[in-house]
Amino acid sequence: MSIPKLELVSLVKEYNDGAVVAVDGIDLSVAPGETIALLGPSGCGKSTTLNMVVGLEEPTSGDIHIDGLSIVNIPPGKRNVGLVFQDYAVFPSMTVRQNLAFGLVVRKKGREEIARAVDEVAELLGMVGRLDVRARDLGGSEMQRVAIGRTLVTKPAVLLLDEPLSNLEAAARLAMRRELRRLQSEIGLTIIYVTHDQIEALSLADRIAVMHAGKILQVEKTSLICERPDHVYVAGFLGSPPMNLLAGEIRPGVAGAAGPAFTHGPLTLALPAGCALEKGSYTLGLRPESLRLAPESEAPLAGTVSLVEFRGGDVVVTVDVASVKLDVILPATERPAMGQSVGVDFDPESLVFFGGDTSRRLDASPMGRPL
Amino acid sequence: MASPPGPTHPADAPGLSPAAPHGGGKPPRAKGGNIGLALTLPGQIVSILVLVIPLLVALYMSFTDWSPTRGSLFDAEFVGFENYSELLIWDTRFLYAVLRTLCISAVCLALEFAFGLSLAVLFMRRFRGKSLLFSAFLTPMMILPVVVGYIFWMLFQSSGPVNQILEFVLGPDVALEWFRSAPLAVTAVIITEVWHWTPLFFLILLSGLNSVPENPVRAAVILGANPRQVFWRVVMPTLKPVIIVAFVIRTMEIIKLFDEVFMLTRGGPGSATETISLYIYKLAFNDFQLAYGAAAAFLVLLGALGLIHLLLLPVRNQLLEVKR
Ligand SMILES: Nc1ncnc2c1ncn2[C@@H]1O[C@H](COP(=O)(O)OP(=O)(O)OP(=O)(O)O)[C@@H](O)[C@H]1O
Ligand SMILES: [Mg+2]
């Protein structure tokens, strides 16, 4: 593979002399033309990471490379990195045209070059008719368009977007999401996209990096990450509803089970014969998609339906199995009644185990085959 | 006149007057508005009387030839616009007082703005002893104008501290007679005034700078603007309303410039530092031409109103705009 466009190497940011570790050793490499979504809860260090890449914050340690060259000693305006803020941060007293031209005007580019670049970007963003409107008179999604356009005019090598859609109302957010997709494919930018909305991440990114408490827990292709979460936290964060996670233990021979069994509180689950896992503490993951309802007598788990949620294409059914709530996704044609007693069945190969101490997914399936 | 908001929720209205029929006539809101008006009416009447009556009396006076030596105001002869035409056409001393006041004001405000802005920008950084300096820099504007005038009168004496410092720095025989030369007297007035009121600009501009949103500034930095470009292209336009309001406040004050000049020079030498207020004061209390003085005061009021509206013109819409 060619050298990555952007590479973060053991990047650390501490505040208040190490009392707050906002970013705790991040490694990430972004290929040219790739869009990576940084997904994580509030305060996990997403903005701090972007601020270091763009140069607003100085890393405590670690390095940042663009096209293989370190940029940490280059001042923010000269790094060729663009950043778009959640609150747009347009220059309110300037017109749209002046906003778009700003990056070139401050670099003292020629008048014609500026006009050409501004027209081009205005065309791209559908703002041609609004060039002479004052930025403070624009609506939210127009402001965000200006903010993106003003960055594109400077032709950044890497574009960073810090929750660019969160201040927009639902409809505008959807429209802007489409718009961003179109921009991506039209100009092939390298993008890091920060969000805490997983739908946004799933629909825009090639790969998703899940961050938690200053660390990147997993980076994976968008198409795979929901099925192959690598860490308990990722498994509980992605998907709607996310994976059912049961922290418990594997013991050899529990009452009522012949071989080793997994126990979680009152719930006991016999492991299939030939299970390769040793005894110890584990977290068991059951994907709602791979669970199905079955007659009570034939299923390994039994419980009562406590919630049925129709979602158009499918149904989310919550089954209480001995005080443990399991989410099951069923096709819309199956509609169990509330309070009904049901059995819950699954393919043994779909079970996912995470190490009880590492929280990492175990490479082998309980059947001894790699997943 | 704005009446206080009545109950805006229609559901409140029946509680106010249960018997009121709901079908035709005014919407319930008007009822609440009327009650609000009725409740505040006495207060509004008193404030109108207190505000308007003295103004009306003075306005009437400016159309007479009244003087306190000549008995009651209402016995004085009504002279129409005579005072005004005299002032506008013949009274060069008035004209010069106006021009002088405007010139001194312009120089003072420019200096106060420049110093105030520099100090405010300085105070956006971190340095040692900042909070102590902050209090020190604000002190001048809390001193009574008369006292400031008195202090600087003392400083500018022929053998006073200012001259002593000048002699120490530039050698002997450079002592200046501050109050005997017209340009020096004007300079002394300007220095006094700038010292006195720079803190107000400093304070207003500092709070303005502090409320400049951070992200547009950061965006400008990322887009490649150097600190100077960030300041002039992003920070200053955001500050514009604040700056203009500071100028309006100071303009209103400085065209009334009186106390300091009175204490420093009494308008002298000759009439080199005679401001509008000082001239009107002399008209009233040296020459007893109160009616004429009142006319001058009204002309100044009109001029000041025009000036301030002109100043506010560029930000009027922005200030009056209702944020969603
Ligand atoms: N200047 C600072 N001084 C001290 N702590 C800071 C500073 N800036 C950020 N932090 C802390 O660093 C952590 C990460 O902040 P950051 O803004 O990167 O989070 P985020 O992931 O962007 O969150 P959000 O989704 O809310 O925007 C937070 O706990 C925050 O309190
Ligand atoms: Mg953030």
Neighbouring CB atoms inside 10 A of A221's CB total 11
Interface check B220 vs A, CB under 8 A: yes
The CA-based dihedral angle spanning residues A356, A361, A365, A371, taken in that order and rounded to the nearest 10 degrees: 170
Q: Which two tokens mark B217? A: 């500034």
Distance CA B197, CA B215 (A): 32
The CA-based dihedral angle spanning residues A35, A39, A45, A49, taken in that order and rounded to the nearest 10 degrees: 0
Which atom of ligand 1 lies at the shortest distance from residue A48's CA?
Answer: 18
Is there an atom of ligand 1 within 6 Å of A175 CB? no
Distance CA B157, CA B155 (A): 6
Q: Which two tokens mark B46? A: 């008193």
- As for how many domains chain B has, the answer is 1
Greatest alpha-carbon pair distance for chain B in Å reads: 93
Which residues from A are below 8 Å from B240, CB to CB?
93
In degrees and rounded to multiples of 5, residue B133 shows phi and psi of -60, -35
Strand A190-195 and strand A158-162: the pairing is: parallel
Query: Percent of chain B beyond pLDDT 70?
Result: 89
Nearest CB among B216, B224, B229 relative to A78 is that of: B224
Q: Does residue B5 sit within a domain?
A: no
Average pLDDT rounded to a whole number, residues A339-353: 87
Interface check B155 vs A, CB under 8 A: no
Q: Whose CA is closest to atom 1 on ligand 1?
A: A15
* pLDDT (0 to 100) of residue A254: 59
Chosen for mutation from B215, B217, B222, B323 (greatest number of chain A CBs closer than 10 Å) is: B222
Q: Which ligand is nearest to the CA of A41?
A: 1
Residue with tokens 């930018």: A189
Is there an atom of ligand 1 within 6 Å of A214 CB? no
For the domain made up of A6-225, give the CATH fold.
Rossmann fold (3.40.50)
DSSP B224-279: T--HHHIIIIIIHHHHHHHHHHHHHHHHHHHTT--HHHHHHTTT-STTTT--HHHH
Greatest alpha-carbon pair distance for chain A in Å reads: 83
Q: Which two tokens mark A246? A: 């049961």
By three-state DSSP, how is residue B141 classified?
Answer: helix
Dihedral sign computed on CA atoms, order B282, B288, B294, B295? negative
Kindly tell me if the per-residue pLDDT of A145 is higher than 70: yes
Is there an atom of ligand 1 within 6 Å of A15 CB? yes
| Cα-to-centroid distance, A54 and ligand 2 (Å) | 14
CB contact under 8 A, A91 and B234: yes
CB contact under 8 A, B219 and A94: no
The pTM is what? Answer: 0.79
| Cα-to-centroid distance, A45 and ligand 1 (Å) | 6
* pLDDT (0 to 100) of residue B207: 94
Chosen for mutation from A50, A78, A91, A152 (greatest number of chain B CBs closer than 10 Å) is: A91
Average pLDDT rounded to a whole number, residues A209-223: 92
CB contact under 8 A, A92 and B221: no
Query: Percent of chain A beyond pLDDT 90?
Result: 47
CB contact under 8 A, A77 and B229: no
Interface check B183 vs A, CB under 8 A: no
Average pLDDT rounded to a whole number, residues A249-276: 74
Q: Does residue B198 sit within a domain?
A: yes
Distance CA B75, CA B71 (A): 7
Q: Does residue B143 sit within a domain?
A: yes
Q: How many angstroms separate the CA of residue A194 from the nearest CA in chain B?
A: 17
Decide if B272 contacts B91 (C-beta within 8 A). Answer: no
Interface check B213 vs A, CB under 8 A: yes
CB contact under 8 A, B222 and A77: yes
Question: For a pocket test of ligand 1, which of A11, A15, A38 has the largest count of ligand atoms closer than 8 A to its C-beta?
Answer: A15
Question: For a pocket test of ligand 1, which of A17, A21, A47, A160 has the largest count of ligand atoms closer than 8 A to its C-beta?
Answer: A47
Which atom of ligand 1 lies at the shortest distance from residue A86's CA?
Answer: 27
Which residues from B are below 8 Å from A107, CB to CB?
224
* pLDDT (0 to 100) of residue A54: 94
Distance CA B32, CA B40 (A): 13
Which residues from B are below 8 Å from A90, CB to CB?
216
- Helices B130-138/B182-210 angle, 10° precision: 130
Non-local CB neighbours of B285 within 8 Å, separated by 6+ positions: none
**Hey, what amino acid is at A206?**
D
Instruction: Name the pLDDT band for A225 (thresholds 50, 70, 90).
Output: confident
Q: Picking from A283-297, B69-83, B182-196, B210-224, which range would have the lowest pLDDT averaged per residue?
A: B69-83
Instruction: Name the pLDDT band for A255 (thresholds 50, 70, 90).
Output: low
Distance CA B249, CA B269 (A): 29
CB contact under 8 A, B224 and A82: no
Report the CATH number that the domain containing residue B100 is assigned in CATH.
1.10.3720.10
Q: Which ligand is nearest to the CA of A40?
A: 1
The order of strands in the sheet holding A261-264 is A267-270, A261-264, A244-251, A280-286, A352-355
Q: Which two tokens mark B69? A: 């030596």
| Intra-chain end-to-end CA distance of chain B, in Å | 24
Which residue in chain B is spatially nearest to A151 when comparing CA positions?
B223
* pLDDT (0 to 100) of residue B23: 44
* pLDDT (0 to 100) of residue B63: 85
pLDDT digits (tens, 9 = 90+) for A159-213: 999 998 888 888 888 888 888 888 888 888 899 999 988 888 998 999 999 999 9
* Residues found in chain A: 371
pLDDT digits (tens, 9 = 90+) for B45-76: 888 888 888 888 888 888 888 877 777 777 77
Is there an atom of ligand 1 within 6 Å of A48 CB? yes
* pLDDT (0 to 100) of residue B24: 45
Query: Percent of chain A beyond pLDDT 70?
Result: 94
CATH number for the A240-362 domain, one of 1.10.3720.10, 2.40.50.140, 3.50.50.60, 3.30.470.10?
Answer: 2.40.50.140
DSSP A177-198: HHHHHHHHHHH--EEEEEES-H
Domain around B217: 85-323
Is there an atom of ligand 1 within 6 Å of A42 CB? yes
ipTM of the complex: 0.83
Query: Could you tell me the residue ranges of all domains in chain A?
Result: 6-225, 240-362
Average pLDDT rounded to a whole number, residues A292-297: 87
